[in-house]
Amino acid sequence: MLMPGRHARSSFYRYGFNGKENDKEIKGNGNSVDFGARMYDSRIGRWFSTDALFKKHPDLSPYHFTGNNPIIFVDNDGNDFGVRINYKKKTIVIVANIYTISMKTYKQALAAAKAWNEKTANIGKMKVSFQINVIKPKPISDEEAASVTIRKNGKIINSLAEKKLFMATTHAKNMTTKDIIGNLYVGNESDKSQLVKGEKFIGGVTNLGEMTWMNSHKKYGDMGESPDLVSHEIGHLLGLDDKKEGTYYADGGIMDYEGAQKNEKGGFNLFSISNEDVQMIINYARDKVSGINVEGSANVTIINEDKITPIGTRIVNPVPLKSIEPDTRIK
């Protein structure tokens, strides 16, 4: 929406808000903006039509713009929103979406993501923060589950509970595949989960940088009930390594399993997410996009310093290369 006396007008220049083309034919000058996938009404900060990807964000209106946070996020085409780096304030936001398959896994992932979302660190001249979004599972009714026949490993599933979990898992997998920054957390409700024992064991596994499952311990139970262990796996989603298994690791941080301590609830506490952990994520992102031979499977896309570009695939670590040099250290 144009403000009287506070804009310039040219019959040759067709572009307006966010650099998108104005459509003046229907709603007047500056009131309708073509983002490609949808038309935007700049008077109310909403779209004229629903989001084609509204199922990814069940907690938001399908007419919302940039998750109701245009200061941090931008929308490149009306389909999804990405990340903005504020160079005046010198801020970087690292973003990932985590899909879940049950309310149990949703609560586990939410508790683990909280630690990341509360973490900030000054890396060089930039303040780094996190936006780890946890998406609730698709609700499956008894009627919906009863109406379909599902075969798993050649056998028909008869239990409604098993069918509902299978359907929710399939939906979450599909959404993860479609989501350019999507990841899947299945807790111990996966066929890949194992029963472990002893005092040295694997609490969880992140496979291919995008799917995480947790094991169950014979004595200590579901490892997903320990938020720190799940936070550790989120670290893998962001490119971090375990000790002695890669370059992107720091002692005394969330990736340090040697810091595990049993808590009163029967779970385990690790060291907190450290500034060095954040530094390693920045290093991983810098190396990945620079073409250095990085073994990690978390993909990285950079938002250029001089313009906003679409978000890439999987994990997004928006790092301005000119600002984060190889010898940058924590201040």
Terminal Cα distance for the chain, rounded: 42
Nearest-10 Cα torsion for 234, 225, 199, 115: 40
In angstroms, the CA 114 to CA 251 distance is 22
Digit-by-digit pLDDT tens for the chain (331 residues) are 455 555 555 555 566 666 566 776 666 666 677 766 677 777 777 777 776 656 555 666 777 666 665 554 555 444 433 334 566 778 888 888 899 999 999 999 999 999 999 999 998 888 889 888 999 999 999 999 999 898 888 888 889 999 999 999 999 998 887 777 788 999 999 888 999 998 888 899 988 656 899 999 998 899 999 999 999 999 998 889 998 788 899 999 999 987 678 777 767 888 999 999 999 988 887 777 667 766 666 666 554 433 433 333 333 333 433 333 333 333 3
Is 82-289 CATH 3.40.390?
A: yes
Q: How remote is the C-alpha of 57 from its chain's centroid?
A: 12
Q: What is the CA radius of gyration of the chain?
A: 22
Q: Full-prediction pTM beyond 0.95?
A: no
Give the contacts of 68 (CB within 8 A, at least 6 positions apart). 60
Lookup: tokens for 59? 């907690």
pLDDT digits (tens, 9 = 90+) for 16-66: 666 566 776 666 666 677 766 677 777 777 777 776 656 555 666 777 666
Lookup: tokens for 309? 């570009």
- Work out the number of other CB atoms within 10 angstroms of the CB of residue 162: 13
Domain boundaries, the chain: 1-8+20-68, 82-289
Residue appearing with tokens 């067709």: 14
**What does the DSSP assignment read for 70-103?**
TTT--BSSSS-B----BTTTTEEEEEEEEEESSH
pLDDT digits (tens, 9 = 90+) for 84-97: 456 677 888 888 88
In angstroms, the CA 312 to CA 278 distance is 20
* Helical H segments across 158-226, by residue range: 160-178
DSSP 2: P
In angstroms, the CA 82 to CA 102 distance is 26
